[in-house]
Every structure is written in structure tokens, then in C-alpha cells.
Structure 1
Amino acid sequence: MPRMFRSTIAVLVLVPLLAGCSTAQVILDACPAIGWMNSLEVRLDGARAGEVALVELCDEAGCSVPGPTAATDPPTAGPWYSGEDLGTGVWRFTLDMSAPEEFDLIAYGPGVTELARESFTAEWHRVGGSAQCGGPMATDPVEFVID
């Protein structure tokens, strides 16, 4: 009898544990991506928009770096945000899995002269992945006026 009792206890303990393992595997199978990048497009406008040499995006976690620098030397602390000039007054920011609701944009002219600074609020929407697993997000383009 004691042997049967031990076997019953072992089954009662192991079945829930093994069931938990199979559930975790199902979640891993359903969510194969482990990371993604979010994006934000900024359109420059205004009388001095043509003078802009660099646009920086900053939030409470840190600030972006120019695209080529970010690709070759990601920061060791803070966010991994990079900004790229697409030409014709449009900048695209690639953000790690962050989607800051509030952020600042800073426009610099030649010689790192600050031309403009403005705070923005963004509404992010999913452009890939799923609600269960997460995935890439984007916002509507932001208009940044440089006067």
C-alpha cells in the first residue's frame, strides 16, 4: 500500500508540472520573435527646415544617434534609437522595442547649432506581430516645424 500511495502522490505532483512545461512550449512556438524595431517618421517644415543637418529624438530613457553610428556601435546603456535623413525633409527614427508616448525632437543646423526643439505625444499602433506576442509598432508621421 505505501508503494501505491507514493506513486499516486508522484503522479499528482508531476502532471501539473509537466502540463506547465507543455504550455510554455506552446507559447514559445506561437511567439518565435524575440525582438523587433519600432519606427517613427518625422517631416520637417517651416522657413528654416532646409538648414537642418541633424534631428535628434529624446525621451526619458535617452537620445537617438545618427544612423551609421548606431548600426556599428550600439550604446551600452539606454535606448537604441537611430535617426536617418531620408532626404527631402524626412527623417526616419528606428527605436528598439520602445514606443515612447512622449518625446522631444531637436533640430540642429551646421556646427551643432540648435534650431528648434519641440515636445510631441505619439499614438503607436501595431504593424506586425500580435497582441499576444507583441511586435513592431509605428505612429502616424510627425510634422516638426523649424522657423
Structure 2
Amino acid sequence: MLRMTRTLALAAAGVALLPALAGCSSGACPAVAYLYSVDVHATGEFASLEVCADGVCTASTGGGAAEAVQPPEGELPPFALERRSDGRWSVTSLQSAPDRLTLRALDSDGAVVAERGYELEWTRTGGSEQCGGPMETPALDFDATAD
């Protein structure tokens, strides 16, 4: 019985200290890496799609345009480009939410057949203003026959 009383007393003391200890926290944000994704609806005839942001472009599956700048060797590109099974494309930023993207459609020789720049408007969908969180931006329509 004495053991049970001590256990209850310790539990009550712990619960009573929780609000005081909560004030001692650093308020640090959790170490969470968020991915920022943009859907692209691309139309027209082209062999591959290339995306550029902040002066760096993805490696193009069609050989790439001559002016494409790749990240230094051993570093990951700041984003990934994936063609989904529904025919749409997904651009995922691995580091931050870019303010601007440039999309390029390439022919089978790697020549640019269409190019368009987009200003992105991101909206936070979770997290907090202090710590950030996941974000989304409207889908992009890219017509490779427009140039």
C-alpha cells in the first residue's frame, strides 16, 4: 500500500511539473525536410522535358540542351522531374520552394522546341509560420507547341 501511495505521489508531482517544464523548451522547430511539388500538364510533341530553377537544370532524358547547367559533381540537383503514369509530370523540389521555374520541351536531339517561365505562388498547407511546413502551388499548363 505504501508503494502505491509513493507511485501516485510521484505521478501527481510529475503531472504538476509539466506546465512549468514546458516553458523551458527551446521552441526549436523539428528537423523535418518538406518536399515541394508542382504538377505540370504538358501537351505537344517532345522527347523529354527539362526544368530549371535558380540557374540549375535537371538532367534531361533526351540528352539535354547545351545551355543546361548541372549541379557540381557529387551534389544532388535541387529538384526531381518525374513523368507519372497519367501522362502528367511532377516537379519536386528537394531543398526549398522555388519562386520561379522554367520548363523546356526537347526534341530527340536535345534541341529546345518550347520554353516557358512560370512565377510560382506557394501556399502553406500545414506546419507553422515559425517552422515552415508543407506547401502547394497551382498546377502549370505547358504547351510545347506554343513557340
The answer for the alignment partner of 2:40 in structure 1 is: 42
| Residue number among 124, 129, 132 corresponding to 1:131 in the alignment | 129
Superimposed CA distance per residue, residues 97-147 of structure 1 (whole angstroms, 9 cap, x where no aligned partner): 321212211111223232211111110111332222112222100000111
Alignment of 1:62-81 (within 5 A): 62-65=56-59, 76-77=74-75, 79-81=77-79
The answer for the alignment partner of 1:97 in structure 2 is: 95
TM-score between the two structures when normalised by the length of structure 1: 0.64
| TM superposition outliers: structure 1 runs of 4+ over 6 Å | none
User: Higher helix share goes to which structure?
Assistant: 1
Cα offset, 1:43, TM superposition: 0.4
User: Higher strand share goes to which structure?
Assistant: 1
TM-score between the two structures when normalised by the length of structure 2: 0.64
The answer for the alignment partner of 1:70 in structure 2 is: none
Please tell me whether the aligned partners of residues 62 and 78 of structure 1 are also in contact (alpha carbons under 8 angstroms). Answer: no
Cα offset, 1:76, TM superposition: 3.6
- Segments of structure 2 that go 5 or more residues without pairing to the other structure are 1-23, 62-71
Cα offset, 1:42, TM superposition: 0.6
Cα offset, 1:87, TM superposition: 4.0
Please tell me whether the aligned partners of residues 84 and 92 of structure 1 are also in contact (alpha carbons under 8 angstroms). Answer: yes
Q: Percent identity?
A: 32
Residue 111 of structure 1 aligns to a residue in which SS?
A: coil
Q: How many aligned residue pairs are there?
A: 114
Please tell me whether the aligned partners of residues 79 and 95 of structure 2 are also in contact (alpha carbons under 8 angstroms). Answer: no
Is 2:56 the counterpart of 1:58?
Answer: no
State the Cα RMSD in Å.
Answer: 2.8
Tell me which amino acid in the other structure corresponds to 1:122.
L
